[in-house]
Amino acid sequence: MASEVILEGASGGRDENMISTFSVSYFAKSLSEVTTVGSGNYYGLVENGRTWQALNDGTDGWIVTVSYKGYTEDEEPAPEDTEQWNLGFDFSEEPIESHPKLKEIKAAFGGYYEEPGGPLKFPEFMPKDSKGKGGLGGKGKAKAGEKNPLFGTSTYAVMTARVTRTWSSKIIPKNTINDIGKVYSSIPDAPDAIAEVDFGSRTWMAMPPKISQNGDVWRIENEWLLSPPSGWVEEIYEKASKQ
């Protein structure tokens, strides 16, 4: 039977999802006790891992530090009280063929296909019969015979965004995976600060959630991915029932 001797210096904290952590150090007389000392709950929290260190060669005992995680509140907090929202921006590389102004780009820079269904290519020098202005936001274009600015180009940068909602619960909801791959016109229950950002006509796709255990509490991260400028293809991606 392990000796339940708690040493001084216990520490802890609570994160943004209301999950508390305590690190408590115990004294174990022998190696056989390092995996059992402190095995009970600590103020309602359950063990989440442990480490141990011998005193000298172990003949003087062992210091065992046990990490506990969970809720310290008398009642489980409501999901909305545990949530943390994040909005992140980035760039992704998309095929030049998917550009919404592809027709104008081809005309302006002499784009062509060497074979049907092949990649779009551009000549090294601007052709004489190129028409129109730059389709990538440029104010003008190179003159005939000059170096083609799109020579060798196969992709273009697209601004993308991801919104995540991280929260915690004692259980994993049964409907956790119901909306994966479905499209929203706006993110459900997002705070006003995020909901009021203008993304134009672009929509959001629900991504697979990330779920991890913290003691007897589950941390759940929901994520929504911003669509390309042309949107998610309605014939492929289903609209979410809740909009």
At residue 200, φ and ψ (nearest 5 deg) are 65, -135
Do 159 and 91 touch, CB atoms closer than 8 A?
yes
Question: What residues have CB less than 8 Å from 204, skipping those under 6 apart?
Answer: 163, 183, 184, 185, 186, 187, 224, 225, 226, 227
Lowest mean pLDDT among 21-35, 96-110, 122-136: 122-136
To the question of pTM greater than 0.75 for the whole model, the response is yes
pLDDT-based confidence at residue 5 (cuts at 50, 70, 90): confident
pLDDT-based confidence at residue 140 (cuts at 50, 70, 90): low
For the chain, give every domain's residue range: 5-70, 79-93+157-226
